[in-house]
Amino acid sequence: METNIVTRFAPSPTGYLHIGGLRTALFNYLYARANGGKFLLRIEDTDKARNSNEAKEAILRAFNWMGLDYDGEVIYQSERFLIYQHYIELLLKEGKAYYCYMSKEELEDLRESQKARGETPRYDNRYRNFQGTPPEGIKPVVRIKAPLEGEISFEDGVKGRISIDAKEIDDFIIARSDGSPTYNFVVAIDDSLMEVTDIIRGDDHLSNTPKQILIYQALNFKIPKFFHVPMILNPQGHKLSKRDGAMNVMEYQSMGYLPQALLNFLIRLGWSYGDQEIFSKEEMLKLFNPKDLNTAPSAYNQEKLLWLNSYYLKNLTNDNINALLPLYNEKIPSQKTQDMLYTELKERSKTLQEFVALLRECLLPISVYDEKMKNKLQTSENIHLLKELIIYFKAIKKPIDSTKAAEIELESFASFQGIKPKSFFMLLRFALLGKSGGVSIAPLLAVLEKEEILMRLKNALAILDIT
């Protein structure tokens, strides 16, 4: 077990939290919690023009839904500008940063001339050692003094040793002309002040790491351990789109997915433990180690997620399901309905949405009848059987209060008619559900009130009897 581990998740509230971000949060959470460390949440909301309060709230809702608890209060970068300003001034005072008075026009001219010479556009350090009178009308930016030679190296927990030639990094901006600090600067400051020891993030951040290391070094801060995880790709090997699953995490809840299934799905996108597929949260905490993260990208597999969700759905208790039904605007049904139908509905459903849809099919009056099935059943023999069924159910005195009681009545009717029970099941299914699929007939009869059964039989008769 590692000691004194501190990890963090630091989303920007400029859009929804998608599953790539949630996976990053999960990896950081597991590593901290498994080692008795701290897991921190920081909202990187310095971009006032693009920030969304709705997005901030959605991030917190997603954490609550997924059961990812964090330590202490949420840290908002928008409340820390005085801290950032202090360190900018410190670097200026120590000569590790400087004011750059280059105008936009000068910068554009420089870039065009560099492109014309076939060079990579970059700042040319013209104000690095400037001692003259600042030009009028120019609000300067602040640039850090990057090393002019040597290498910036670090050991990545996923990718191994990474070295970048210092010449590839120019004197990048750490404060804009309006005084606001830039992304890489505030990230390094906050990670250090929050005493973050390990940073697990997507490898789209890999290009930021050398710049952040330079800031750590300039301020004599301890450099954390980095783990850059390959991105999640769609089945075709391209960047995830919303159609592939890169949508708001809370949309997964609306679609009927369970948080434990989504967590299990995400941990397997980039990490494995032998051939094991099913992981409880306790097992994740016991087994996860970022040193075992895959070096290759992972492919999003919708069928795998549905399979996992159906597994966890089948293992929910009736009380578990009842607690979730209000999320889908569904009332908790009677105890008899739960006892008779829940087990079968769970077997037939991959999501809670499907579960609720099947439950409604059973309990609500039929609104649409299958046209092909209607045409197939529209015979004088079936019309006669429906009329006989209505007479038979009217005459039943005892309540049909169990699957066994329903089966006895169906066999009794079949015996009276001199036919096999299966020979009229399709007709009865059409009358009770309006379609060929759905739950078994016997438990459905046990759940429905006698008046509802008779109403459905009569409605079906009216549809089939066109004479």
376 is in an annotated binding site: no
Stretch 177-200: mean pLDDT, rounded?
Answer: 96
Residue 121 banded pLDDT, cuts 50, 70, 90: confident
Confidence of residue 245 (pLDDT cuts 50, 70, 90): low
Q: Which domains does the chain have, with CATH numbers?
A: 6-78+232-303 (3.40.50.620), 80-229 (3.40.50.620), 316-363 (no CATH), 371-464 (1.10.10.350)
Cβ–Cβ under 8 Å, residues 65 and 55: no
Task: For residues 426-430, give the mean pLDDT.
Answer: 96
Look at residue 48 and tell me whether its pLDDT is greater than 80: no
Give the pLDDT band of residue 289 (cuts 50, 70, 90).
Answer: very high
Overall average pLDDT of the 240-260 stretch: 86
pLDDT at 467: 63
Instruction: Write down the pLDDT at residue 412.
Output: 94
Select which of 115, 242, 394, 420 is catalytic: 242
Written as one string, the DSSP assignment of 91-120 is HHHTTSEEEE---HHHHHHHHHHHHHTTPP
Percent of the chain topping pLDDT 70: 98
pLDDT value, residue 137: 87
| pLDDT value, residue 246 | 66
CA–CA distance, 277 with 93 (Å, rounded to integer): 55
> Out of 104-118, 302-316, 359-373, 431-445, which region has the weakest mean confidence (pLDDT)?
104-118
Angle, CA 111 vertex, CA 133 and CA 217 arms, to 5°: 70
Specify whether the CB–CB gap between 65 and 253 falls below 8 A: yes
Counting Cα atoms < 13 Å in the Cβ hemisphere of 227 gives 25
Once rounded to an integer, what is the mean pLDDT over residues 343-363? 97
Bridge partners, residue 455, by sequence:
none
CB contact set of 389 (below 8 Å; sequence gap of 6+): 413, 424, 428, 431, 457
- 466 has pLDDT over 80: no
Residue 345 CB partners (closer than 8 Å, separation 6+): 355, 358, 359, 439
CA 340 – CA 153 distance, rounded (Å): 64
Residue 1 has pLDDT above 70, yes or no: no
- Per-residue pLDDT averaged across 192-218, rounded? 97
Instruction: Supply the pLDDT for residue 292.
Output: 93
- pLDDT at residue 247 greater than cutoff 80: no
What are the phi and psi torsion angles at 129 (to 5°)?
Answer: -120, 35
**Can you tell me the mean pLDDT for 131-145?**
92
In the predicted structure, residue 165 carries a pLDDT above the cut 70: yes
Section 140-150 average pLDDT: 96
Q: Active site includes 242?
A: yes
Reduced DSSP (H G I as helix, E B as strand, rest coil) percent helix, strand, coil of the chain, to 5: 50, 10, 40
How far apart are the C-alpha atoms of 461 and 398, rounded to whole Å? 24
User: What sign results for the dihedral spanned by CA atoms 297, 301, 306, 311?
Assistant: negative
Going by pLDDT thresholds of 50, 70 and 90, the confidence category of residue 99 is very high
